[in-house]
Every structure is written in structure tokens, then in C-alpha cells.
Amino acid sequence: MLMQRVLTALLLLPVLLALVWFAPTPWLYAALGGIGLVMAWEWTAFMGLSAHTPLRVGYLALTALVLATVWFSPVNGPALNWALAPVALIWLLMPLRFRAYSRGGDSGPIATPVMAIAGQLMIASTLLSVAALHALPNGPIKLLFVLFLVFAADTGAYFAGRSFGRRKLAPKISPGKTIEGAIGGLLLCALWGATAGSFAFGLHAATAIATLIALSVLVAIVSIIGDLTESMLKRIVGLKDSGHILPGHGGILDRVDSIVAAAPVMLLGLRLCGLA
């Protein structure tokens, strides 16, 4: 299993880096659209549609239509802040849902219109945010900064949790995560924001650097929320993995759950703080 994970990562990482560094933003968005369709297919399992192939295909068609519409709409422009604000608010309020789940628990599929809309909102906001980050001046560097920020949150949490972890962060949702691990991840992200962030965004003023550090920590928190959200949903519907497309890793959603939450919040934060 470990060897599968390593080989899959070694194969996909160069492709990802090449897309971010060399592809024009429209091409990147088109490639992301393919990933978005896989995400939509996996999301239908969370909706309880695993045994209903025609409905799953229909949901894919709807996703393709939404992604194309969003790209050519005012949302991909002057209305972007207004579109991202409710998405960011949903992620920031998600811990309230964790608390409710941890107290009472839930079971059974969530095949509701609300779940279907949530999937479209999640996929479209993620892909559009990644593309918008890429379209910024020096966008590839800034996008890589964000992607590695999420990686830093996960890596810092893993090693700090293994070394110092005692108190469970969300035992009924993800028993392996600890409070100490999360703190370690946040500290590493603060360091990443202060160093790589200053370079990526060309910051020199102490106030601007401090703002980016604070935003980096906030985004790291949101990335943890994204991870916990997918873990909670998998427990609710009884899934071990969101899919099987990535050997050793599970599904696409299993790999991008943190980025799904982090990208919209980072983009909105950068725009509101004047750092975009």
C-alpha cells in the first residue's frame, strides 16, 4: 500500500507541476474540469446514488454545464468576491456541524437536493478559485504557495501528532487527528507564510507579511475543516474511500478535501486584504 501511494504521487506530481507552471489559465481550468467530473462522480456516492448509474451520469452532465457556465459568467470576474463569500462562510461554520455529529451521530445516505447543490457549489468554487489564483500576476508561484501551504498543514500535523499527540481533535470523525498535531500544522504554515509567502507575493512591509501569516494560519485551519468534513460524510454514508481511481490513495476527493476548502478562502482573503 505504501509503495502504491509513493508511486502514484511520483507519477502525478510532475504532471501537476507542469500544468501549474506551463499551462495558460484556460487550459489549466479545462484540465481541472476533468478532475471536477471525477469529483462529481465520487460525490454521487455521498448522495446515495451508487446504484443509480443514469442519475450519476446526469449529475456529471450538470457539473460540466455548471463549470462551463461559471467560467464565462460574471462570477469569474467582478462578482467573484460575492460568489466566494458564502462558500467561505459555510466552511467556517462547518465545525458547528462537527459538534452536532459528535454529540448525536448520523447514518444513512444524504440523497437530497441540498446535497446535490452542495456538490456543485464545492466543485465549482474550488476549480474557479484555483484558476483565479493561477491568473494572478506571478500566478503559478502563488498557486504553488497555496498548494504547498495545504501540504504543510497536513505534514506538520502528521509529525507533531506522532511526536506530541495526546488529545483527540475530533475522535468520532477522525480518531487519528490530535489537537497537538493540528497546532504543529498551524505553526508550520505560519513559518511557510512568513518565508515562502513573502517571496511568492513580493512582500517587504511588516504589516503585509503579518497579514499573510494570519491568512495562512486561517487557511490551514480551513484545510483541516475540509479534511474533517469529508471524513464525517464518509462515516455518515459508510464509505471507506471516496473512490478508487488513485492506487493507494483512494479517490480524488480523498486527496483534495483540504484544497477544496482552502482555495476559496485563500483567494477571498487575498482579495479582501489587497494581496491578490
How much is the average pLDDT of 44-53?
86
Question: Distance between CA 80 and CA 29 in Å, rounded?
Answer: 16
Alpha-carbon Rg of the chain, whole angstroms? 18
State the cell numbers at 257.
478535501
> Which residue is listed with cell 445516505?
109
| pTM for the whole structure | 0.92
What pLDDT, on the 0 to 100 scale, is given for residue 260?
Answer: 97
Q: Is residue 244 classed as helix, strand or coil in its secondary structure? A: coil
| pLDDT of residue 176 exceeding 80 | yes
State the pLDDT confidence band at 2, using cuts at 50, 70 and 90: very low
| pLDDT of residue 87 exceeding 50 | yes
Q: In percent, how much of the chain has pLDDT > 70?
A: 93
Question: Distance between CA 144 and CA 73 in Å, rounded?
Answer: 26
> Angle at the Cα of 270 (from 268 to 274), degrees rounded to 5?
120
What confidence tens digit (pLDDT) does each residue in 65-74 have?
999 999 998 7
Question: Distance between CA 28 and CA 128 in Å, rounded?
Answer: 10
Domain that includes residue 265, residue range: 2-272
What pLDDT, on the 0 to 100 scale, is given for residue 269?
Answer: 97
Question: Distance between CA 128 and CA 266 in Å, rounded?
Answer: 12
How much is the average pLDDT of 146-150?
96
| Count of domains forming the chain | 1
What confidence tens digit (pLDDT) does each residue in 188-238 have?
999 999 999 999 999 999 999 999 999 999 999 999 999 999 999 998 888
Question: Distance between CA 37 and CA 253 in Å, rounded?
Answer: 11
> Which residue is listed with cell 475543516?
225
Q: How many CB atoms lie within 10 A of CB 241?
A: 15
What pLDDT, on the 0 to 100 scale, is given for residue 244?
Answer: 74
Pick from 165, 159, 195: nearest CA to 179? 165
